[in-house]
Chains A and B, each alone.
Chain A
Amino acid sequence: GENVEQHPSTLSVQEGDSAVIKCTYSDSASNYFPWYKQELGKGPQLIIDIRSNVGEKKDQRIAVTLNKTAKHFSLHITETQPEDSAVYFCAASRGNTGNQFYFGTGTSLTVIP
């Protein structure tokens, strides 16, 4: 099955700085890569996703890049704000029937005001 590794496990940045979280995957058949944000006491919520036919996608302060050859993808958050503090998960999926998602172990991001 798929194996998704995520680094770092914890990350602290000053408000206004950028944050980068990296993930690698093992299954070359994976073709959908979502990123989820989980706030304390809540369920994960999608913040951005990318499909394997695209190398980069941006949504305001958040961007995701995908390198299919190296099997890694990254989340970039610019101009970080205290409300960005949360746990972030990457995931990979083949996108076929059942759409089984494999998650990384999470990154706890703290933005220091």
Chain B
Amino acid sequence: NAGVTQTPKFQVLKTGQSMTLQCAQDMNHNSMYWYRQDPGMGLRLIYYSASEGTTDKGEVPNGYNVSRLNKREFSLRLESAAPSQTSVYFCASSDQGNTEAFFGQGTRLTVV
């Protein structure tokens, strides 16, 4: 089992460029999440999807959009990248209820 797979692993963007971060899970989980990790700030939720066909904003949604393409895939889009979006992005998935979240390996994004 691959678990949670994120692509790409590294990316450098110029200010104003757009890109989509891809995430796929093979555990048949209902819920999927996008987090960003910044030094000293832990993991902050950007968007989540409780189930296929639904998405909701997390703590820091501004500047991002998401698409739950199907049960397996949940993508994060930056329409016009800004230096403040330089971060490490993690996708995660879990079953509904009090269960473990599984994380991908992360995407290190630098916006110059």
Contact = CB atoms under 8 A, between A and B. Distances in A.
B98 A98 contact: no
B42 A105 contact: yes
- Residue among B43, B59, B90, B99 with the highest chain A CB neighbour number at 10 A: B43
- Residue among A43, A93, A102 with the highest chain B CB neighbour number at 10 A: A43
B101 A46 contact: yes
A95 B59 contact: no
B75 interface: no
Contacts of A42: 105-106
- Chain A interface residue bracket vs B: 20 to 34
B96 interface: yes
Nearest to A98: B50
A79 B31 CA distance: 36
B48 A44 contact: no
B56 interface: yes
- Chain B interface residue bracket vs A: 20 to 34
Contacts of A96: 97
Contacts of A32: 98
A49 B106 CA distance: 22
Contacts of B44: 103
A9 B98 CA distance: 26
A103 B60 CA distance: 13
B106 A43 contact: yes
A49 B100 contact: yes
A43 B42 contact: no
Nearest to B106: A43
Contacts of A100: 33, 45, 48, 58
